[in-house]
């Protein structure tokens, strides 16, 4: 892992992943909306050890901008080896139940735009028969739950997409990693009631970087305990599950 492209570089988890990659002297290309935030990140990561940090300001939720993002990436890093998709949106569930606009925006950001941009990068890696494609989905995608099934289904659909993509790219030797974090202390989850007890983003980032470096696993649960929790949750029969308010 030498040249890493981060889609959604200003997201809470991405911030920590980037620092750890900088310490490992990876070259980075950061994509996010705000030019000011990108420039602050760039100086930070350069001081922390990244030999090169390029930035590109674009709205990843807007598919029209994807071609330009991809062109810039190929131009800057013709031989990039890792892509990490780290952006996402979590609206208040109640909001997306009452407003179709909010619902569609959630699906657009977390699923539609994510699959669109991954498809561009997948083709390039498949052609070069190398590299690794990783995306952050969520444990919320493992089971539809009353309290956040809109966010959950957008991330669950992305996990399913990655599963198929993994199989498609396997013959070309391209890795596809599905990253499923439990709740993490980031700006995205600050409004949730139990936020202080959520996982430390540094710890989650450590797991992610380790997964990017090694050959395994295909699906990363982080912190690890979520693998077991979700295995159990998935076993709950529907007749019981539909009565649970969690």
* Closer residue to another protein in complex, CB, 23/95: 23
Contact call for residue 12 and another protein (CB under 8 A): yes
Kindly indicate which of the ranges 34-42, 81-89, 129-137, 232-240 contains the residues binding another protein, using the contact rule CB under 8 A. Answer: 34-42
Helix (H) or strand (E) holding 232: helix 225-235
Choosing from 2, 33, 44, 108, the residue that interacts with another protein (CB under 8 A) is 44
Nearer to another protein among residue 202 and residue 241 (C-beta): 202
CB of 106 to another protein, least distance (A): 21
Contact present, 42 and 228 (Cβ < 8 Å): no
Distance (Å, whole) CA 230 – CA 220: 12
Q: Which of 3, 9, 10, 139 binds another protein (CB under 8 A)?
A: 10
Question: How far apart are alpha carbons 93 and 95 in whole angstroms?
Answer: 5
Please state whether beta strands 3-7 and 27-32 pair in parallel, antiparallel, or not at all (unpaired).
parallel
Applying CB under 8 A, among 41, 90, 174, 184 the residue interacting with another protein is 41
**Nearest-angstrom CA–CA distance, 181 and 166:** 19
Site membership for another protein, residue 200 (CB under 8 A) = no
77 within 8 A of 69, measured Cβ to Cβ: no
Please tell me whether residue 6 binds another protein under the rule CB under 8 A: no
Supply 233's token pair.
């949750």
| Residue from the set 2, 33, 37, 74 that interacts with another protein by CB under 8 A | 37
Site for another protein in 121-160 (CB under 8 A): none
Can you tell me the distance from the alpha carbon of 76 to that of 56, in angstroms, rounded to the nearest whole number? 10
For another protein, the closer CB: 12 or 223: 12
Q: For strands 219-222 and 175-181, give the pairing.
A: parallel
Provide the 3-class DSSP secondary structure of residue 219: strand
H/E element holding 35? helix 35-47
Question: Is the CB of 195 or the CB of 231 nearer to another protein?
Answer: 195
Residue 36, interface with another protein (CB under 8 A)? yes
Q: Least distance (Å) from another protein to the CB of residue 112?
A: 26
47 binds another protein (CB under 8 A): yes
Distance CA 11, CA 88 (A): 8
Q: Which residues contact another protein (rule: CB under 8 A)?
A: 10, 12, 15, 34, 36-37, 40-41, 43-44, 47-48, 187, 190, 196
């Amino acid at each position: 892992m030498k040249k890493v492209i981060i889609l959604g570089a200003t997201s809470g988890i991405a911030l920590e992943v980037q620092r750890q990659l900088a310490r490992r002297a990876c070259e980075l290309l950061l994509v996010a909306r705000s030019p000011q935030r990108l420039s602050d990140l760039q100086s930070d990561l350069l001081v922390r050890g990244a030999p090169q940090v390029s930035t590109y300001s674009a709205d990843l939720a807007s598919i029209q901008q994807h071609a330009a993002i991809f062109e810039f990436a190929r131009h800057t890093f013709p031989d990039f080896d890792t892509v990490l998709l780290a952006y996402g949106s979590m609206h208040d569930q109640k909001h997306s139940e009452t407003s179709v606009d909010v619902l569609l925006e959630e699906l657009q950001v977390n699923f539609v735009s994510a699959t669109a941009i991954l498809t561009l990068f997948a083709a390039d890696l498949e052609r070069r028969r190398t590299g690794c494609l990783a995306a952050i989905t969520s444990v919320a995608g493992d089971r539809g739950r009353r309290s956040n099934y809109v966010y959950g289904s957008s991330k669950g659909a992305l996990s399913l997409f990655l599963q198929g993509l993994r199989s498609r790219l396997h013959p070309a030797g391209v890795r596809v990693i599905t990253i499923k974090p439990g709740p993490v202390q980031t700006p995205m989850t600050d409004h949730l009631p139990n936020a202080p007890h959520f996982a430390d983003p540094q710890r989650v980032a450590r797991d992610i970087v380790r997964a990017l470096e090694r050959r395994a696993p295909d699906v990363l649960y982080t912190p690890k305990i979520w693998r077991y929790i979700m295995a159990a949750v998935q076993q709950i029969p529907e007749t019981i599950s539909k009565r649970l308010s969690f």
